[in-house]
Amino acid sequence: MLGILGCVGYTMLPGAGAPLLSASTGVLAAALTVAGVRRNRPPDPFAWLVFAAGQVTWASGDLVYALNQMAGRSAFPSWADACYLAAYPFFAVALFRLGRGRRPSAGRIIDAAVTFIGLGLVYWVFVVGPIAGDGTQPVALRLVMMGYLTTSVILIAAVGPILTRTRHSGPSGWLLAAGCVATLLGNLVTSLAPASMTWALPWAYAIFVLTYLCWAGAALHPSSAAPHDAPERTGPHRLILPATATMLVPAILFLEAGRDPDHIDTIAVGVGSTLLVILVMARLAGFVSQVQRQSRQLEDLALRDTLTFLPNRRVFEERTAEAVTAGVRPQVAVLDLNGFKDVNDRLGHAVGDQLLSVVARRLAGSFDENGLVARLGGDEFAVLLPDASPEVMAGIAERMTAALRRPIEADGHELLVSASIGSADGTGLTDPVELLRRADLAMYAAKGAGGARHRAYSDDLDRCAGEEAKLGAEIRTALDTGQFQVVYQPIVSLPDGRVVSVEALVRWRHPVRGFVSPAEFIPVAENNGLIVELGEWILRTACAQAVAWRRDLGDAAPERMSVNVSARQLAEPGFAGVVAETLAWTGLGAAQLTVEVTETAVFGGGQTVQAVKDLHELGVKIALDDFGTGHSSLGLLQTVPVDILKVDKSFVDSITMAGRHAVIATALIQVSNGLGLQAVAEGVETAEQAAELHRLGYRLAQGYHFGRPVAEPDFAAARARGALTR
């Protein structure tokens, strides 16, 4: 708006007033440019200062022109034109620096060359030729006219790369371009307008006032501080420039043929078209190379661990399958760090990440290029030797163990780390999954034997190794192959038996063992850390099921979903974030989820209690499971935010017997009511127990009497069974 007002004001001022206004605007623009450099601190401040010098030089031309007007001199060309032309090299240098960045790419240089040659060809055929051939004009006049137009074309070519950068200077770049286009238009009108268009000359001169303000605005805008070295982005839009430049040649030929078929400048058109074709082909070749390079980078990112830059699990499994299929002697080792979780808990994940990076480098340096070391996830690594003997693998395992004995420096901490290594021989095997399972089993056997050692798989390991080691490997397989199932047990209100909530429980149907009790595999998963992955899967599945019930059953659906959370899960940093993400993904409200924790899980305080507090702040209900059987039940109620007490089955079993058996159950419901908590009686197996609990004041109960854990509960049947007769 200010530029438009300046243009109008220029045309209205008489005599020397107009060029004096232009000179004042130029000096102001130079000062604003310097101010923009001081405020925005652009990557190349020198380029903007050069721009300011050009503006001062241009303003000097306005001042000389005003003095000529006041003296009554109107010669053209004059010393004012010398000042104007002297400013263009400053502008061109500044624009080229801004467009190239600190590390000019070949693509941007070619783009600038294509723009310059394309515009230059048009300029030569339609401007230089007619002006140079006009013998009626003095030579000095023709040279000055060609100088103005040539420098304007150079500015257009220089500003092009600024606009074609991936992260160009935003409004700053467009303001620079607007100033260059305005300059070209002004010079075209002042140099080529016929005598009959004298009315247009004041407006053409006024355009330069707009140019001053556009360039000053470009320096002042915060986007002038945008980085220059952004990578180029491929896409259809990048083909517009070479395609347009290529089409200029036939367009010029058609226009020349229509205007004067006998005077086509074949030399200019031929040289220009040849250069354009060469440059466009080079640019297209650059596009192809860039796409291929980016494709390789994406493929490499998909196949590598982003922290250690080692191949990831996918690559390792594919290479293992290839080795087994080839029928050679593949050797696989699985390595698990001992005590890594303690490092994360005590020193933070940043230190843990540095530790993993150092471990990865040491493992990779333990054998030659014929082997493959990969990060499977967490603190677990794996090694593949496509064709080797068990003795060679044993030697490599020893070298890896020795490499890890040296202290590791991480963020100022000197850390000692060891690893449990299990290896397996794939000779004669046809199933890569079985090979990995054997190595896993051997690793768990090494860990069970005290860790920090290597254990090779042997045929008797499945029979003689500890059940925990074998079960740990099978839990991993069960997670990968979907052997687990979530079942749901109703929690009902008394006395009407209405299902108000359900507790999600996990069941495992092993393809060989059959049903495996949670009491058997949950402790194993706790010890080896797989409970974290298993628990997240249960949480996602249960929340999604709760949403599905509410959608399908409406008001008949349970109000809340209860999910058990282990101590190992609570100790994981960011566990509350995992719950929040799950709620967002499934659409379940936080108030509709209850997290059940045991007294043992939160007794030690620290991270586990903080996790419970974070969950409570999300709006998730907290239930203290098996209440009354832990370390210090009443003390926990003062330190842990609890909403629900789940009274242990041991206090319910004998509640119908006379004497002292109901005293604890009675005391617990009184404590619950006094603290404003809900109490759920667990393990209710008979109608008599349910009736007695209701008499004592319990209003929520759970147990086989109301329904066993099943994948698809019948809530109506549960209510019919649980309703107390009056």
**Taking a C-beta distance cutoff of 8 angstroms, is the pair 629, 650 a contact?**
yes
**Residue whose token pair is 């140099």:** 191
User: H-type helices in 369-499, by residue range?
Assistant: 390-405, 432-448, 461-464, 467-481
C-alpha 305/C-alpha 311 separation (Å) is: 6
Structure confidence at residue 585 as a pLDDT band (50, 70, 90): very high
Listed in order, strand segments (DSSP E) in 443-592 are 454-456, 484-493, 499-510, 514-516, 560-564
Q: Which helix (H) or strand (E) holds 192?
A: helix 171-192
**Taking a C-beta distance cutoff of 8 angstroms, is the pair 421, 439 a contact?**
no
Alpha carbon 500 to its chain centroid, in Å, reads: 40
Model-wide pTM > 0.95 = no
pLDDT at 236 over 60: no
CA-wise closest residue to 589 among 552, 547, 551, 557? 547
Other C-beta atoms lying within 10 Å of the C-beta of residue 584: 10
Instruction: Encode 65-86: b = buried (16+ Cβ within 10 Å), e = exposed.
Output: bbebbeeeeeeebbebbebbbe
Main-chain dihedrals φ then ψ at residue 621, nearest 5 degrees: -75, 145
pLDDT at 250 over 70: no
The CA-atom distances, in angstroms, between 314 and each of 326, 335, 375, 713 are 18, 17, 10, 38
pLDDT of residue 605: 59
Per residue in 196-224, pLDDT (tens digit) is 455 556 666 777 777 888 888 888 888 87
Preceding peptide of 77 cis, ω within 30°: yes
pLDDT of residue 166: 42
User: H-type helices in 41-168, by residue range?
Assistant: 45-71, 79-100, 106-123, 129-132, 139-164
CA-wise closest residue to 54 among 199, 151, 123? 151
Q: Is 234 exposed, middle or buried, given 0-12, 13-18 or 19+ CB atoms closer than 10 A?
A: middle
Please report, as a single letter, which amino acid is at residue 20. Answer: L
- Helix, strand, coil percent values for the chain (each to nearest 5): 65, 15, 25
pLDDT at 167 over 50: no
Alpha carbon 411 to its chain centroid, in Å, reads: 25
Structure confidence at residue 519 as a pLDDT band (50, 70, 90): confident
pLDDT at 234 over 70: no
Per residue in 525-575, pLDDT (tens digit) is 887 888 999 999 999 999 999 999 999 988 889 999 999 998 888 888 889
Half-sphere CA count of 588, side-chain side, radius 13 A: 31
Task: Calculate what percentage of the chain has a pLDDT beyond 90.
Answer: 21
Per residue in 68-105, pLDDT (tens digit) is 777 666 666 777 778 888 888 888 888 878 876 545 55
Structure confidence at residue 168 as a pLDDT band (50, 70, 90): very low
| Matching fold, domains 313-465 and 482-722 | no
Mean pLDDT over 433-454 rounds to: 84
**Residue whose token pair is 């400048």:** 265
C-alpha 304/C-alpha 310 separation (Å) is: 5
Looking at the DSSP bridge assignments, the partners of residue 72 are none
Listed in order, strand segments (DSSP E) in 554-620 are 560-564, 593-598
Per residue in 287-322, pLDDT (tens digit) is 667 767 766 666 666 678 888 888 888 889 889 999
pLDDT of residue 199: 54
> 3-class DSSP state for residue 526?
helix
Which residues are CB-neighbours of 404 under 8 A, at least 6 positions away? 359, 362, 417, 418, 419
Listed range (48-57, 142-151, 330-339, 670-679) with the worst mean pLDDT: 142-151
Per residue in 456-511, pLDDT (tens digit) is 998 777 765 556 777 888 898 899 889 999 999 999 999 988 999 999 999 999 98
pLDDT at 136 over 60: no
Higher pLDDT, 617 or 609: 617
Angle between helices 349-364 and 390-405 in degrees, nearest 10: 140
Topology (CATH level 3) of domain 482-722: TIM Barrel (3.20.20)
Mean pLDDT over 396-423 rounds to: 86
pLDDT of residue 726: 42
Topology (CATH level 3) of domain 313-465: Alpha-Beta Plaits (3.30.70)
Which residues are CB-neighbours of 614 under 8 A, at least 6 positions away? 575, 576
Angle between helices 17-40 and 2-12 in degrees, nearest 10: 160
> 3-class DSSP state for residue 230?
coil
Main-chain dihedrals φ then ψ at residue 199, nearest 5 degrees: -65, -25
C-alpha 102/C-alpha 175 separation (Å) is: 21
On average, the pLDDT of the chain sits at 79
User: Order of strands across the sheet with 331-338?
Assistant: 372-377, 380-385, 331-338, 418-425, 454-456
What are the residue ranges spanned by the domains of the chain?
Answer: 2-230, 313-465, 482-722
> 3-class DSSP state for residue 255?
helix
Listed in order, strand segments (DSSP E) in 187-303 are none
Mean pLDDT over 619-644 rounds to: 77
Preceding peptide of 495 cis, ω within 30°: yes
**Taking a C-beta distance cutoff of 8 angstroms, is the pair 345, 571 a contact?**
yes
DSSP state of 514: E
